[in-house]
Amino acid sequence: MAAQPSTALQLYPVQTDCIPDRFEEKRCIRSGQEALASSPSSVSVPERASSAIAIIPVMQWEDLSDEALIARYRSEERSSSAELYLNELFRRHHVKVARWCLGFTGDRESAADLAQEICAKAYQNLPSFKGQSKFSTWLFSIARNHCLNAVRARGNAPNMTSEEEVIDTLPDMGGHDPFAGLERRQAADLARQIMNEALGETEKVVFTLHFSEELPLDVITRVLKLENASGAKAYLVSAKRKLEKAVSRWKARAQGAIEGEINGR
Amino acid sequence: MADNNKSREAWRAAVSTTGNCLSINDLERLAESVPLPDEKLNAHLAECPRCQTELAMLKNFESAAPAHDEGAAVAWITAQLGRNSLKSAPQTAVAGRLGFFRNFFRNSYAIAAVAVALIIIFSVSLYISEHQAAPQLNAGLNNPNPGQILRSQSIRLIGPSGDLKGLPENFRWDVYPGATSYRVELTEVDGTLVRQETVNQNVLSVTPDWKSLIHTGKPYNWQVTALDASGKAVVSSSREHFRVGTVKP
């Protein structure tokens, strides 16, 4: 079993081929301990120190990365200390998860329920964490999907924007739809191009969250921590107005190009 | 109408995931200001509102400090999380049900409904208790008179009682049906046991041993417990008070 982090100094035999990294750090400790355990009990500490022992300060919790905590948890999963590593791991991210959930629900009780569900889901799926991303990024994926699903499942809540309202607030294309006659992919590319030309970064994000994820505006305001008076609604109204103008300009340019082509003939 | 549908589709498609969207690992690198190895990925990010949104959400998740107006709520939630062990964490469905009950009790009308229900339950139980036939109190004992119904579960003590001129000759009480023996306890008024003895009859002679423990002027209590054949206590009397030598002959 690996030693618990403490401020004390402990003696660990050091293997010269043991180079700690994010996931191998626990292997060093373990191999050191195994060597220590296999050494004769009658050998005094100075004798052992002279053979292959160095003094290494035992790490504190802060010295262990998230990934090192997971590695230790996995290596000691059946021991009583395994849960300590896990508790420390999740304790580090409680605030992130709490803030995230509070943004989605707006009240602390529901947010606590959501946060508890997210932590439980992360715990249950921990075996599938491969370390290809940071643990917090992996946790974000779980939190993001869980909260979006929860909002969709509670879509009949009174403060939820209805589907009709969502559709009606899409930009008005006027008499001539520039997307008419285009293939789906071409239409999407054109819409994306117009968005990038016309909208600011926050406007694009609000627009995307509202129309793609169908998040209510109050949720978007809280999740993005928008501090202006009208929150996400102001960005959405602004985005819609800018897109309508951009479409008009695009149509004018297209019309001019067509006329130019005709005149050229 | 067809045109309108087409434009809706176009806007929705523009903000939907494409096959070229960045992976979560790419988004993580960008959130940490690590440049992406492939220029195509950077170009895609510049054009894709969806990836820009995902990146904004990831950055938002990673930012540590709660807003000024949510600090207390975040602290409360983290305290709740800290209290619950991960292994004992409820499954989603269970947590959902708990959430329902929390919401339920958050509403004042729900609390009122619960109060009304409790009043009804109390009233019904009171009505039943008043109209129910008196139970057979000697149930469980080997009653020699099965038809006899005892109205008291206590043993009636006969004496000694009150202030006495001299030491009592015996302790006496009524026979309790089904009892095979009786345990007599003599205590001081603060409950300290002075002596106890078990007898097979409804009388205990005050022997010199007993007399030596009863002092003039000192108040005592005594109590009898009926025992069944296995020595198990069936019923106890109330405590009876007496004192010796306080009445002048």
What CATH number does residue A138 fall under? 1.10.1740.10
Picking from B62, B86, B105, the residue at the C-terminal end of a domain is B62
Q: Is the peptide bond before B160 cis (omega within 30 degrees of 0)?
A: yes
pLDDT band of residue B153 (cuts 50, 70, 90) is: low
Is the domain of A169 the same as that of A222? Answer: yes
| Cβ-Cβ contacts under 8 Å, B3 against chain A | 173, 176-177, 179-180
**For residue A141, is pLDDT > 90?**
yes
How far does chain A reach from its first CA to its final CA, in angstroms? 85
Give tens-digit pLDDT for B64-83: 666 667 788 888 888 888 77
- Averaged pLDDT for residues A55-64: 64
pLDDT confidence of residue A29: 38
Helix (H) or strand (E) holding B120: helix B108-131
Mean per-residue pLDDT over chain B, rounded: 77
Does residue B221 lie in a domain region?
yes
Last residue of a domain, one of A122, A153, A184: A153
Map residue B78 onto helix, strand or coil: helix
**What residues of B are in contact with residue A137 (Cβ under 8 Å)?**
24-25, 27-28, 31, 58
Q: Do residue B6 and residue A120 have CB atoms under 8 angstroms apart?
A: no
Is B144 part of any domain? Answer: no
Whole-Å CA distances, A259 to A176, A180, A194, A246, A256: 16, 19, 22, 20, 5
Q: What's the pLDDT band for A59 if we cut at 50, 70, 90?
A: low
Task: Of A44-58, A192-206, B105-119, give the range with the top mean pLDDT.
Answer: A192-206
B contacts of A117 (beta carbons < 8 Å): 89-90, 92, 95-96
Task: Tell me: do A233 and A259 sit in the same domain.
Answer: yes
Q: Taking CB atoms and an 8 Å cutoff, what residues of chain B touch A91?
A: 82
Mutate to test the interface with A, among B58, B68, B86 (most CBs of A within 10 A): B86
- Residue A95 and residue A184 share a domain: no
> B140 vs B13, which has greater pLDDT?
B13
Q: What is the CATH number of the domain that holds B195?
A: 2.60.40.10
Domain annotation covers residue B21? yes
What's the CA gap between A129 and B69, in Å, rounded? 34
Percentage of chain A beyond pLDDT 70 is 65
User: Which comes out higher in pLDDT, residue B175 or A186?
Assistant: B175
Does any domain span residue B213?
A: yes
* pLDDT band (50, 70, 90) for residue B246: low
SS3 assignment, position B212: helix
Min CA distance, B116 vs chain A (Å)? 26
In chain B, the percentage of residues whose pLDDT exceeds 90 is: 17
Q: Tell me, what's the pLDDT at B162?
A: 87
Same-domain pairing of A237 and A176: yes
Tally of structural domains, chain A:
3
Residues A124, A215: one domain? Answer: no
Verify that A20 and A111 share a domain, yes or no.
no
Number of structural domains chain B divides into: 2
Of A34-48, A238-252, B213-227, the range with the lowest mean pLDDT is A34-48
Q: For residue B93, is pLDDT > 70? A: no
Considering the domain boundaries, does residue B184 fall inside one? Answer: yes
Mean pLDDT lowest among A218-227, A236-245, B240-249: B240-249
How many contacts does A have with B, using Cβ atoms within 8 A?
193
DSSP state of B238: P
Determine the structural domain holding residue A132 and report its residue range.
80-153
Last residue of a domain, one of B47, B62, B77: B62
For helices B2-14 and A184-198, what crossing angle results, to 10°? 70
Residue range(s) defining the domain that contains residue B36: 2-62
* Degrees, nearest 5: CA angle A82-A85-A89: 140
Residue of B18, B53, B86 lying closest to A119 (CB–CB): B86
Same domain, A250 and A176: yes
Query: Is residue B219 in some structural domain?
Result: yes
Single out the residue in A153, A172, A192 at which a domain terminates: A153
Residue A184 three-state SS: helix
pLDDT band for position B202 (cuts 50, 70, 90): very high
d(CA A206, CA A202): 6
Residue of A nearest to B60 (CA): A224
pLDDT(B131) > 80 = no
Amino acid at B37: P
Q: A44 falls in which pLDDT band (50, 70, 90)?
A: very low
Structure confidence at residue B13 (pLDDT): 83
Query: Is residue B182 one of the residues assigned to a domain?
Result: yes
Between A124-138, A243-257, B176-190, the lowest mean confidence (pLDDT) is in A243-257
Write down which residue in B17, B46, B62 finishes a domain: B62
For residue B144, give the amino acid letter: P
Which of A18, A37, A63 is the endpoint of a domain?
A: A63
Taking only residues 166 to 205 of chain A, the set having a beta carbon closer than 8 angstroms to any beta carbon of chain B reads: 167, 170-171, 173, 176-180, 182, 184-185, 187-193, 195-196, 201, 204-205
Q: What are phi and psi of A210, to 5 degrees?
A: -75, -45
Question: In chain A, what residues touch B24 (CB-CB under 8 Å)?
Answer: 133, 137-138, 140-141
Span B20-58, pLDDT tens digits: 888 888 899 898 888 888 888 888 898 899 999 999 999
- The pLDDT of residue B203: 93
Tell me, yes or no, if A133 comes closer than 8 A to chain B by beta carbon.
yes
Same-domain status, A181 and A246: yes
Checking if the pLDDT of B171 tops 90, the result is yes
